[in-house]
Amino acid sequence: MKISSAEFVTSAVRKSDYPAGELPEVALAGRSNVGKSSLLNRLAVKKGLARTSKTPGRTRLINFFLINGVFRLVDLPGYGYAKVSAGERESWRKMVEGYLSTRENLKGVVLLVDSRHPPTSLDVQMYGWLKHRGIPVAVVATKADKLSRSKLLRSLKVVRETLALAEGETLVPFSAETGQGREELLEVIGRWAGILCKETVEQK
């Protein structure tokens, strides 16, 4: 799949704010600072499309981006940031769970984990929760440029083991710096987004 256009649509907290219509959506989930917004910018080849930051907790709302005019990528606020209050954590849970459990447009979730560390207990929980709900998941190990090849391979093994990924389940090493993993991930997202997306590419 090729991305020929990407534009911000809207930010939302609750269901009534989500964009109307039936376009398929693929959401980006993962802990705060893992690189969700950077991944989105790299996929879209648009640096400032989604705001990124060295400080965790940059993305506070559910942000919708229209891709090729035919599907949406949804940048979710991250979990696991220690410095938020219990109240903020609860509002995060309501916002993200609300989206993931009720959104009919949702076709799959890209779950990002940091390739430099084993998945956290919250990553394991999130993965289990998505699988339990029958939502298709592709796991992405981010910041792959920060590891040597051998360390990356070892780390991918740990990710597979910790999340108990089955043989055929997708795990893509990814770097927003170098673009590693971009094509492979776009293939998965394209498949989820469905036939409409292929048609756009074929027309070109």
Residues that bind ligand GTP (CB under 6 A): 30, 32-38, 52-54, 56-59, 77-78, 142-143, 145-146, 175-177
In the complex, least distance from residue 40 CB atom to ligand GTP, rounded to whole angstroms: 8
Q: Which is nearer to Mg ion, 62 or 193 (CB)?
A: 62
Alpha-carbon distance 81 to 186, whole Å? 28
In the complex, least distance from residue 37 CB atom to ligand GTP, rounded to whole angstroms: 3
Q: Which is nearer to ligand GTP, 73 or 197 (CB)?
A: 73
For 161, other C-beta atoms within 10 Å of its C-beta total: 11
Q: Which is nearer to Mg ion, 37 or 175 (CB)?
A: 37
* CA neighbours closer than 13 Å in the CB half-sphere of residue 76: 27
Give the tokens for residue 176: 């927003």
- What are the two backbone dihedrals, phi and then psi, of residue 114, each rounded to the nearest 5 degrees? -80, 120
Q: Find out whether 76 and 57 touch, Cβ atoms under 8 Å.
A: no
59 is a contact residue toward Mg ion (CB under 5 A):
yes
Measured CA to CA in angstroms, residue 185 lies from 8, 76, 78 at distances of 20, 17, 20
In the bound state, the residue with its beta carbon closest to ligand GTP is 78
- Residue 80 binding target from Mg ion, ligand GTP, none, CB below 5 to 8 Å by type: none
In the complex, least distance from residue 96 CB atom to Mg ion, rounded to whole angstroms: 13
In the complex, least distance from residue 110 CB atom to ligand GTP, rounded to whole angstroms: 11
